[in-house]
Structure 1
């Protein structure tokens, strides 16, 4: 389903080998958080999606884990930005802005964190909406 959604928005999208349930469980254990079900479903079909210009529209599972652990624990980031604990980052647009689910309270909506001004803005109603809009866009500022 997810490859079809991505392919309809951007036929040249690139896909990785799927992630099995064991790797998802290990990732959730490291994060101490259950990943959103639609993200798990996507990762079990493809371990990330590469869109236009080589942008990782959806990161591979390992990057999701590593980047979130760093964002949640890096004291240097905590001194510069609002807290990242409520967010689960899973993709970017290639220019530093990153896309995230809200962990607390859990919701399907997707938000963008704009690194220049530390704003967090709603961009899509769910992962399918995010893929359709971000992959179809010609530029990195599709959400503005």
Structure 2
């Protein structure tokens, strides 16, 4: 929760990254990339934010899909 509040603060990373407002982060892959729900526009998809280049890549069509893929995968399964 604290990480979301940090990212949503307008003064934290002004002009450095794409906006974080539409995302609700809930986990990471242990290597720095972060998984997030999309809040705006509301949709069930899960995206991953690449910490090295700030790209946001589609990772799963919803929480159930994410859990199946992440539990069955090894490492960066979403790439």
Give the TM-score, by structure 1 length.
Answer: 0.52
Indicate whether 1:79 and 2:15 are aligned: yes
Which residue of structure 2 lines up, in the alignment, with residue 128 of structure 1? 64
* Residue-pair matches, total: 79
Q: Which one has a larger percent strand, Structure 1 or Structure 2?
A: 2
Gaps of 5+ in 2: none
Q: CA deviation at 1:78?
A: 3.0
Indicate whether 1:143 and 2:73 are aligned: no
Which residue of structure 2 lines up, in the alignment, with residue 119 of structure 1? 55
- State the structure with bigger RCO (CA 8 A, min sep 6), 1 or 2: 1
RMSD, matched Cα: 1.2
Which residue of structure 1 lines up, in the alignment, with residue 5 of structure 2? 69
Larger radius of gyration: 1
Displaced runs of 4+ in structure 1, greater than 2 A? 74-79
Gaps of 5+ in 1: 1-64
Q: CA deviation at 1:76?
A: 3.8
Tell whether the 8 Å contact from 2:48 to 2:56 is kept in structure 1 after alignment: yes
Tell whether the 8 Å contact from 2:6 to 2:12 is kept in structure 1 after alignment: no
